[in-house]
Amino acid sequence: ELKVEQNPLFLSMQEGKNYTIYCNYSTTSDRLYWYRQDPGKSLESLFVLLSNGAVKQEGRLMASLDTKARLSTLHITAAVHDLSATYFCAVDGSRGSNYKLTFGKGTLLTVNP
Amino acid sequence: NAGVTQTPKFQVLKTGQSMTLQCAQDMNHNSMYWYRQDPGMGLRLIYYSASEGTTDKGEVPNGYNVSRLNKREFSLRLESAAPSQTSVYFCASSSNLGEQYFGPGTRLTVT
């Protein structure tokens, strides 16, 4: 059974600081996804990582995937208040094209002025 | 292009009542999914449909049934609602990269 662990689960940081959220998973996979969820809202896709060594960047967020270590990171650079949200990683542990995702519990990020 | 739509947005049921949550997507995706989200639990897969005419159980299927009516529509039915089914329900569909697109959610309370 695929297990996906995120840490930390809660992160309070100051504006302007850098930090990294970690996503570890238990079985072989080379498909990993990051999502953002604002309070009371749905999930919005941030990054799609489909191979070992994949790196994607959008604004102050950068995601990477190391399939050998079964680890993905979401790095936040010079945080701003607008980044406050819950961030989920999700791993596709299925074969073929079913794309069945297992989600981590999420990291609640609060960026304080 | 509406993406993934869900109805209703909110629902209150009494224990034992039944209801169907509707989901539709207009992105011509083959795969569709139903999740529930509970505080501190992330999203858990209830059922999914890899293509029209097929459905499979996910992590937490007990108490639910699904129907893939056609390529666009995937419904979730609660035959006899229980308080443990109080949750937020999300429908999603996936592209050929596996990226999932989520509907706005249905907030269900069972009393």
Q: pLDDT tens, B13-43?
A: 999 999 999 999 999 999 999 999 998 888 9
SS3 A27: coil
Q: Are strands A71-76 and A19-25 parallel, antiparallel or unpaired?
A: antiparallel
- Averaged over B70-86, what is the pLDDT? 97
pLDDT reading at A95 higher than 70: no
pLDDT at A96: 64
- Averaged over B55-75, what is the pLDDT? 95
Q: How far is CA A35 from CA A46, A73, B111, in A?
A: 5, 13, 31
The answer to whether A108 faces chain B, any CB pair under 8 Å, is: no
Q: Are B89 and B4 in contact (CB under 8 A)?
A: no
Extract the tokens encoding B88.
Answer: 């937020």
DSSP line for chain B: ---EEEE-SEEEE-TT--EEEEEEE-S--SEEEEEEEETTTEEEEEEEESSTT--EE-S--TTEEEEE-SSSBEEEEESS--GGG-EEEEEEEE-TT--EEE---EEEEE-
pLDDT reading at A110 higher than 90: yes
Q: pLDDT tens, B79-111?
A: 999 999 999 999 999 988 889 999 999 999 999
Q: pLDDT tens, A20-74?
A: 999 999 988 889 999 999 999 999 999 999 888 899 999 999 999 999 999 999 9
> Which chain A residue has its CA at the smallest distance from B102's CA?
A43
DSSP line for A36-68: EE-TTS-EEEEEEE-STT-EEEETTEEEEEETT
Distance in Å, alpha carbon of A80 to nearest chain B alpha carbon: 24
Contacts of B47 in chain A (CB under 8 A): none
The answer to whether B75 faces chain A, any CB pair under 8 Å, is: no
Phi, psi of A3 (to 5 degrees): -120, 140
